[in-house]
Amino acid sequence: MRPWHGCGPGSTPGRSTLFKMNSSKAIKQLRFLEKLVSNHKLRLAAEWKEKWKILISTILSPQTKDETTIKISGILYKKYSSPEKLANTSLKEIKRIIKPINYYKTKAKHIKETAKIISKHRIPKTREELMKLPGVGRKVANVYLAEAYNAQTIGVDTHVSRISQKLGWTKNKNPYKIEKDLEILFPKNYWNSINYIVVRFGRIYGKSRKNEDKILKRIKSLN
């Protein structure tokens, strides 16, 4: 788990009227969520040091359990130890290996095409350049940058969207607008922990929305 870096709580001057709660309360809620997921520490960046592997696994991860992504990625990298080798294998073989991954047919095309690009060029270090790669949208780019470089970015997926709305962190449903609301609400040094904590909570407790709602109601009442 990334450590908090000592930026004290406080709302952004001139913008706090956008939220019913202040930054201090939101931080308290996030820390409570963190405690609930502290025993579940599976993490893509913790599995691989090579940035190309983090990138490919991040492309594979949406709508798939981390346990599955990590297991299938491990099989993939054992057989193909470099982007060049992955790029040169057949699409049919990639599909066969990653079949347990949700949307594996589309993701197989994306990782093969991305592997081909990064085998010839350096992996981009900016969100804008990363988003030019197949299978890399804003959320995947943000998550990759947070995992690979500890960058202060917020990846907004369905879990972050749903839980942020339920806790009152945002009233928006558009991922980009949610990202911007969270950037206003939380001090910058918290940004790259939001996706990890909230997604983990959503995957663990969101299997039963009734149970999730009960926990979030309790968290929302924190002062």
What whole-number distance in Å separates Cα of residue 126 and Cα of residue 117?
Answer: 16
- Residue 108 structure tokens: 């197989």
What whole-number distance in Å separates Cα of residue 84 and Cα of residue 87?
Answer: 5
In angstroms, the first-to-last Cα distance of the chain is 25
- The four Cα atoms 206, 209, 215, 216 give a dihedral, to 10 degrees, of 90
C-beta neighbour count of 90 within 10 angstroms = 10
Q: CB-based contacts of 106: which residues, under 8 Å, 6+ apart?
A: 135
Contact assessment for residue 169 and residue 185, using Cβ atoms and an 8 Å cutoff: yes
What whole-number distance in Å separates Cα of residue 113 and Cα of residue 71?
Answer: 22
Look up 139 and say whether it is catalytic.
yes
Helix (H) or strand (E) holding 191: helix 191-205
C-beta neighbour count of 92 within 10 angstroms = 8
Q: CB-based contacts of 223: which residues, under 8 Å, 6+ apart?
A: 25
- Which one of the listed residues 25, 53, 107, 139 is annotated catalytic? 139
- Active-site residues, by number, are 139
